[in-house]
Structures are given as structure tokens and as C-alpha cells.
Structure 1
């Protein structure tokens, strides 16, 4: 799925997708959570001009929907995944815990999504080479949002992340392979 990108919105030094997304392509395979060997942390892809098609078309929703610069994944610690968007679900993949989790911004954005009928899922990474844990948490977050209580919302987010972190991790079975010529 390729979504239209916001004009002027660039990844910059953010490389979170190059770390968290698993790839198992003929020309590139990397386990979940392993930084792609073609990626320069904080700078981007060194084979950008000839990168695989998957890398050309997959973008986090920060590049697609109106979110502040604070939502850029390397700043927020959250990759807003497009998977499920066609079914009305937005997944917040929390790659690391930051102040964003207790911010009025997160509360306001999630409240807006719920008001529009969008479901919200939370996801956390497991050990390198394992699939992340994910759960739809709309009904769990709704009472705090309806009460207009950002502190209760943040507490519910943290409790959800703690619970997800106890997941029984499943290996992705991907062995790293780098064959892009550049």
C-alpha cells in the first residue's frame, strides 16, 4: 500500500523503520529489530537510489497525516504504522518510552482518532528477530478519553505497554542477507 506523502515532510535522520521493519526479500533480508546494514544510524540509507521497492513505498504515518514534528519516530519513540489503516486501525508501535506517552499531544491525537471512529492499537518490539506484540486498546483507553483525563489515559497506555512486554515472543525466522549492489 502506498499512501500520498505530505509535501515537505522528510525522514531526515530518522531511521526507525530501517530498524523495526522485518524484510525477507530476494535482495534484502533482515530480522525484526535489527538495523539494516545499509542504514547509517541518524543519516539514512547508503543505497537509497537503488533501494528495494518495499523500502521505496513503506512510510510511517508521520509522513502521511498531519502530526506535529514531535511525532517523528526518532523523537517520539513511536512509529505510527500504516498497517490496518484501510480497516480503520492505527497502530502506535512504541519502540522506546519517551515523554510523548504522557503528553497532551498524544492524548489529543488519540482522542481525535477515537472521535472519528478509528481504532487504536499499541505495539511493542520484542528481542531482535522476533515479531512485535500488538493489541487493539480502543475500549481500554476510551473511558480516560471520555472523562477528559490525560493522567488516567497515560496510566492506561503504560499499563498496556507493560502487559505487551510480557508477551511470549515468536521468532520471525529471518536470516540477514544483503545483496543490493550499490
Structure 2
């Protein structure tokens, strides 16, 4: 799926997708959670001009939706994944916990999505080489959203992340292979 990007919004030094997205292509394979061998941490892709098509069309929703700069994944610790958007679902992939989870912008944005009928899922990474854990948490978060209670909302988000971290993470079966030329 390719979504229209916001003008003048670039990844900059953010390389979170180059770390968390698993790839198993003929020219490039890397396990989930392993930084791509072509990625320069904090700078981006060293083979950007000839990168595989998958890398050319996958963007987090921070590049697509009007979200503040605080939502940029390397700043927030949250990747807003595009998969599921066509079904009215947004996945917040929490790659690391940060103060952003307690930010009013985080609460207000998710509250707005829930009020609009968007299903919200949380996801967390497992060990390198395993698929992440994911769960739809809309109904769990709804009471805090309806009460306008950011503290209860944060407590529910953190409880969900704790529960997801206990998941029996499954191996992705990908062996690193780098052959982009």
C-alpha cells in the first residue's frame, strides 16, 4: 500500500522502520528488530537510490497524517503503522517507552481516533528475530477516553504494554542477507 506523503516531511535521522520491519526479499533479508546492514544509524539508507521497492513504498503514518513532530518515531518511541488503515485500524508500535506516552498530544490524538470509530491496537517488539506482539485495545482504552482522564489512559496503555511484553514471541525465520547492487 502506498499512501500520499505530506509535503516537506522527511524521515531525517529517524531509522526506526529500518530496524523493526522484517524483510525477506531476494536482494535483502533482515530479521525483525535488527538494524538493516545498509542503514547508517541516525542518518538513513546508504543504498537509498537503489533500495528495494518494499523500502521505497513503506512509510509510517507520521509521514502521511498531520501529527506533530513529537510523533516522529525516533523522538516518540512509537511507530504509527500503516497496515490496517484501510480497515479503519491504527497500530501504535511502541518500540520503546518514553515520556511521550504521558503527553497530552498522545492522549488527545488517540482519543480523537477512538471517537471517530478508529480501532486502536498496541504492539511491542520481542527479541531480535521474533514477530512483535499486538492487540486491539480500543475497548480497554475507551473508558479513560470517555472520561477525559489522561492518567487512567496512561495507566491502561502501560498495563497493555506490560501484558504484551509477556507474549510468547514467535521467530520470524529470517536470516540476514544483503545483495542490493
Do both share a fold (TM > 0.5)?
Answer: yes
User: Where on the TM-score scale, by shorter chain, does this alignment land: which range?
Assistant: over 0.9
Give the match's secondary structure for 2:123.
Answer: strand
Q: Any gaps of 5 or more consecutive residues in structure 2? A: none
Structure 1 ranges of 4+ moved more than 4 A: none
Show the counterpart of 2:160. 160
Give the match's secondary structure for 1:29.
Answer: strand
Q: TM-score by structure 2 length?
A: 1.00
Matches within 5 A, 1:53-64: 53-64=53-64
Alpha carbon RMSD of aligned pairs, Å?
0.3
Q: TM-score by structure 1 length?
A: 0.99
Q: Distance in 1 between matches of 2:169 and 2:115?
A: 33
Residues 152-182 of structure 1, C-alpha deviation per residue, up to 9 Å, x if partnerless? 000000000000000001000000000001x
Give the match's secondary structure for 2:36.
Answer: coil
Q: Any gaps of 5 or more consecutive residues in structure 1? A: none
Q: Distance in 1 between matches of 2:145 and 2:116?
A: 13
Q: Distance in 2 between matches of 1:114 and 1:145?
A: 8
Matched, 1:15 2:15: yes
